[in-house]
Chains A and B, each alone.
Chain A
Amino acid sequence: MESPVLKVDGFSAYFGDNQVLKDINLSISNNLVTALMGPSGCGKTTLIRCVNRMHELIPGTKVSGKMYLRGDDIYELEPILLRRKIGMVFQKPNPFPMMSIYDNVIAGYKLNGIRLGKDEMDRIVEQSLKESALWNEVKDALHRKGTFLSGGQQQRLCIARALAMNPEILLLDEPTSALDPKSTAHIEELIVELKKNVTMLLVTHNIAQAARVSDFTAFIYLGDLVEFGPTEKMFTVPRDKRTEEYLTGKFG
């Protein structure tokens, strides 16, 4: 097996004195969707925010242990450079409200001051929007504001914005929790489609969603990584009693 895209090695995170992640070990391989599931407050969102170091924006956070992105120690890199290599999609669609659809997709380059030719930009925008299955809907309205789109379209626009940067890994933080069932189905199809090219880490509190789209699943409970393995195996023969109870709806 080739070297993992993301390797988490004995990783713990704290908010003040409160330990929210306890000695997590994970290894995520190329072009797979890994779902992180668990009840609310279990630390799954914290874990993916530690991957692109967004948790550092909250004062009083501490981490210990290691995380490697394709062999590079994440906590040795500059956060700014690191975040350019890691795409992130949030719970609520958050396109830049004052930018057009086109500018939203290319925002990662423009805001970072990376100069590109017009043809290059056009190509990236078209490719990213096609990858996020939004191209056909917006190709005639590229210069309209992104906020005129529906919630599901806005979320796909945010995915396009993240894909435009050619990320090593795409972090999806409950990307469908603010969407209606139809848009959710659309995004899920998109995730399955996207894994041909991108490695994804999906946070979800929806067990069925994890089952539908992921190849591997990690079950986190109270900051512990209870179980990590192929989704199919975990959903049919869970090794841990807590996983079984969570999957059968005894808690969570």
Chain B
Amino acid sequence: METSYLLHAEAGGGVSSPSPVIDSSDKVEIKKDFNSKNHVKARIIKDIFFKSTVILFAFLSLLPLIFILYYITKNGIAVINWEFLTQLPRPIGETGGGIFNAIMGTLMLIVLSSIFSIPFGISAGIYLSEKGEGKIAHIVRLCVVVLQGTPSIVIGIIVYIWVVAPFGGFSALSGGIALSIMMLPVIIKTTEETLKLMPYSLKEASLALGVPYYKTILKVILPTGLSGILTGILLSVARITGETAPLLFTAFGNQFMNYNILKPIDSLPYRIFYYAMSPYPEWHTFAWGASFILVVVVLGFNLIARGISIKWKVQF
């Protein structure tokens, strides 16, 4: 320490006219402090403190998920059996029954909303990644952001006005439309981001072979970005599987099995809502059971999406 002090003192002395604002001896003082043993120690302690705080908060933020999974598993798993998965709800007063109609309803809603949203979403994503800078692209991108931020219940009301009212009744179709509107922004964004990551040289390689532009996009660019696009679709499906609010105005819910897309249809979130609001203890346990299945389905979609994005990753 002593040597460094001297060195800096000499350096300070070497300057012919020390600046009047910063006293040269002050500078030396600071330098000395920086190299002192205590200062180093203090920095190490601050480092440890910072690291442990970050780790602590990371764990704390995981706690809600752990508790949710724990509670749902604890309360829900006891109800799950073959009957619960394959039977329809029984009328009030009878015990037993299951949520088969809700499981099938949710699957139908996923299929319907995917059919509606995937073609539009991927096309819009291609458009944005290809014509990225134009004024229209800018407006489209803004609309996607706004759509993503639109509360799901508002989408439900809009679809009620557009589809339910003209058709004269709640229907699976309207539910699928409401959910597909919620899927759109996720699919558009992920498609756009995935395709933007494609190197330009890939497109050049195809065009230089005389492949027309549309075939270059459909047969070279899209297949190369397939894993990213599929991941986006699965994430958007995971997002809408648990949506309840838009379904209240559209698919509504149905005690019975229904495969007609123009009739009301049941869904897992709606069934949970219905059972949990009821005064019967058995139905409360059914709500836990349905919640368990819903969480497993959503987690499943997320894990598959992860698997695809890792396994099918394209190397350039």
Contact = CB atoms under 8 A, between A and B. Distances in A.
A90 interface: yes
Most buried by A among B205, B206, B208: B208
A4 interface: no
Given A80-B212, A96-B224, A147 B207 contact: no
Interface residues of B, number: 22
Contacts of B119: none
A54 B207 contact: yes
B219 A111 contact: yes
B95 interface: no
Contacts of B215: 111-113
B224 A83 contact: no
For the residues of B in contact with A, the DSSP-based class is helix
B209 A165 contact: yes
Contacts of B201: 90, 92, 94
Interface string A204-219: 0000000000000000
B202 interface: yes
A84 B209 contact: yes
In this complex, the interface size class of chain A, counting residues with CB under 8 Å from chain B, is 20 to 34
A47 to B, nearest CB: 15
Contact of A83 (B210, B219, B316): B210
A112 B314 contact: no
Interface in A93-118: 94-98, 107-108, 111-113
Contacts of A128: none
20 contacts: A57-B204, A80-B210, A83-B209, A83-B210, A84-B210, A85-B210, A92-B201, A94-B201, A94-B205, A96-B206, A97-B315, A97-B316, A98-B223, A107-B209, A111-B216, A111-B219, A112-B211, A112-B215, A161-B209, A162-B208
Interface of A: 52, 54, 57, 79-88, 90, 92, 94-98, 107-108, 111-113, 145, 147, 158, 161-162, 165
